[in-house]
Amino acid sequence: MATTSEIEWTEMTWNPVTGCRKISQGCKHCYAERMAKRLLAMGSDRYENGFEPTLHHDLIDLPRRWKKPRVIFVNSMSDLFQEEVPEEFISGVFDTMVACPQHTFQILTKRSERLLELSAALPWPTNVWMGVSVEDNRVVERVRDLARVPAKVRFLSCEPLIGPLDQLPLRGIHWVIVGGESGPGARPMNPEWVESIYGQCQRHGTAFFFKQWGGVRKDKTGRELHGRTYDEMPLIAVA
């Protein structure tokens, strides 16, 4: 199960795991949960369990079939490091990424503690970018966990940004994505929160990507900041 993606910072998605459990306020209006319900209603076999965590063993090797280099968001419909995913399955996903150096793989998790716990046993080639989702100051510890993971590129997704992040520990972080919540019930994003993160990235030399203002109709609010778009990507670097 792989599809081209409309997410601005990637090219396609690969979902060997689907479904997840909510663990913080950033999960409240989960877009993946809404999509899973829609796909279940459409009769998709992959979503017969709805949004319950589900492993798709037959998809672990899928990227090995793709010869053309691609930027791939891993598990856009789930979280690879949730407790329901066994260590052996995570290792299998990493084995595939190691075997496909032509691709760039982007992984996001909210389970930074488990990520850190398992990180020493996992390979970290330069084509695997590891990130954590950070929606407000209540979960900023995820950034500190990520900074201790030996990934060559470490990044933050501050989306949905639902509160201030005025003191991000950006040492060892190569890229920050910022975006407002979108869709039904979207919580508003204060422009001051965005400006604060932008300023911190400028001071630390961290690549800054502004994804969207969000809102119920994100197509109407757009993604311009300071009268322009910010599409910076991280340099491949060892911290």
pLDDT tens digits, 49-103? 999 999 999 999 999 999 999 999 999 999 999 999 999 999 999 999 999 999 9
CA distances from 238 to 28, 61, 152 (A): 34, 27, 5
Q: Where are the domains of the chain?
A: 2-221
| Pairing of the two strands 2-4 and 12-14 | antiparallel
Q: What is the pTM of this model?
A: 0.95
CA distances from 211 to 14, 22, 44, 68 (A): 20, 23, 29, 26
Fold of 2-221: TIM Barrel (3.20.20)
Confidence (pLDDT) at 5: 86
Q: In the predicted model, is pLDDT for residue 1 greater than 90?
A: no
How do residues 171-198 score in pLDDT, each as one tens digit? 999 999 999 999 999 999 999 999 999 9
